[in-house]
Amino acid sequence: DIVMTQTPSSQAVSAGEKVTMSCKSSQSLLYSENKKNYLAWYQQKPGQSPKLLISWASTRESGVPDRFIGSGSGTDFTLTISSVQAEDLAVYYCEQYYDTPLTFGSGTKLEIK
C-alpha cells in the first residue's frame, strides 16, 4: 500500500497569514504516460463531509478560492493557503489515487488564532 504522510498534524495561524502543509507519499504518484500526479487535497470542516479542493496535485476544483494552491510532483506535495480566512478552519487531507487501495494522509488540522 502507498503510505501518505502529512505534516504538521496541526497548525495555528492568524487570519491573513500564509500557511503551507506537506504531504509525502511512499512511492511516486507521477504516471509517466500522461505526466499527471495522482494526488488530491480535501477540506473537512467541523461536522461536515470532506470536500474536494484540488485534483492532479495542482488543479483547483470549480468554485474553490484561488488562495488554495497545490504544488509538487512525484512524492512531495504541498498545499498552500496564501491568505488564511476564518472559514478555512478545517482538517486538510491528501489522498493518492494512483493505486488501489486509495490511501489518505492522517490530516493537518488548521486552527485560526
Partner 1 sequence: EVQLVESGGGLVQPGRSMKLSCAASGFTFSNYGMAWVRQAPTKGLEWVATISYDGSSTYYRDSVKGRFTISRDNAKSTLYLQMNSLRSEDTATYYCTREQLPLDYWGQGVMVTVSS
| Identity of the residue, 26 or 83, whose beta carbon is nearer to partner 1 in the bound complex | 26
Of the listed pieces 21-29, 45-53, 65-73, 79-87, which binds partner 1 according to CB under 8 A? 45-53
Cis amide leading into 50 (omega within 30): no
Inter-residue contact 98 to 2 (CB < 8 Å): yes
Does residue number 72 form part of the binding site for partner 1 (CB under 8 A)? no
CA dihedral 31, 59, 72, 98 (to 10 degrees): -30
Under the rule (CB under 8 A), what is the footprint of partner 1? 38, 40, 42, 44, 49-52, 55, 61, 93, 95, 97, 100-107
